[in-house]
Amino acid sequence: MASSSKTLRTCSNGHQYYKSSDCPTCPICENERKPDDGFMSLLSAPASRALQHHGITSLQELSQYTEKEILAFHGMGPKSMPILRNALQEKGLFFKNLSI
């Protein structure tokens, strides 16, 4: 099993962190950006960024999409779908259904 070596990096905000991948994302900056509450706070950083990239910042906006459309977003995975479904249902909302 090959070991991956981590390299010390510094982001544009001056945070120092170690990474073994080519991903340029600073984990410290990502943690600072994470919301404290609301449905976005329950999601992983990639899933949250995927929704924000598509202009989805509220459950009302989320309900305008089908589950298939959301899963097609880069960064969104199947683990996020139950979280999103539950958040919508708590507000009496659902994903858009195309079979109607």
The verdict on residue 27 lying in a domain is yes
- CB atoms under 10 Å from CB of 93, counted, come to 15
Of 66 and 100, the one with more pLDDT: 66
The verdict on residue 1 lying in a domain is no
Would you state the pLDDT for residue 91? 96
The verdict on residue 66 lying in a domain is yes
30 and 60 both lie in a single domain: no
Q: What is the pLDDT of residues 3-34, one digit of tens each?
A: 568 899 999 999 999 988 888 888 888 777 77
The verdict on residue 71 lying in a domain is yes
Full domain range(s) for residue 81? 37-100
The verdict on residue 2 lying in a domain is no
49 and 22 both lie in a single domain: no
Q: What is the pLDDT of residues 68-85, one digit of tens each?
A: 999 999 999 999 999 999
Helices (H), 1-100: 27-33, 45-53, 59-62, 67-71, 80-90
78 and 29 both lie in a single domain: no
Q: What percent of the chain has pLDDT over 70?
A: 94
